[in-house]
Amino acid sequence: MKMSARNRLPGTITEVVKGEAATRVSLQVGDNHMVALITTESAEELGLEAGKEVTALVKATDVMLLSDEGLA
């Protein structure tokens, strides 16, 4: 399978919380924790469950975080 996204993060699902329309999927990616919010329909089609190995593909124009702590 070919994919244009270059930011590929292999990880393991640690938790799946299904809602009516959206599902929160928590992943362990190396030493890091990542959370993805996807449609519940997609989560069900992919058979997502804790312990499953997946690859997160990140394709975004911007990712910004701001915290007042640690700023001089």
> DSSP characters for 9-48?
EEEEEEEEEE-SSEEEEEEEETTEEEEEEEEHHHHHHHT-
- Where residue 5 falls (left for φ over 0; alpha for ψ -120 to 50; beta otherwise) is beta
Q: What is the number of structural domains in the chain?
A: 1
On whether residue 42 sits in a domain, the answer given is yes
Mean pLDDT score, 3-24: 92
Is residue 48, in this structure, part of any structural domain at all?
yes
Residue numbers of the domain that contains 25: 9-58
> Considering the domain boundaries, does residue 4 fall inside one?
no
How does the average pLDDT of the chain come out, rounded?
Answer: 89
61 confidence band (pLDDT: 50, 70, 90): confident
More confidently predicted of 66 and 19: 19
- Whether 21 is in a domain gets the answer yes
Q: Which pLDDT score is estimated for 70?
A: 62
Please check whether residue 2 lies inside any domain of the structure.
no
* pLDDT for res 72: 54
pTM of model > 0.85: no
Is 32 within the bounds of a domain? yes
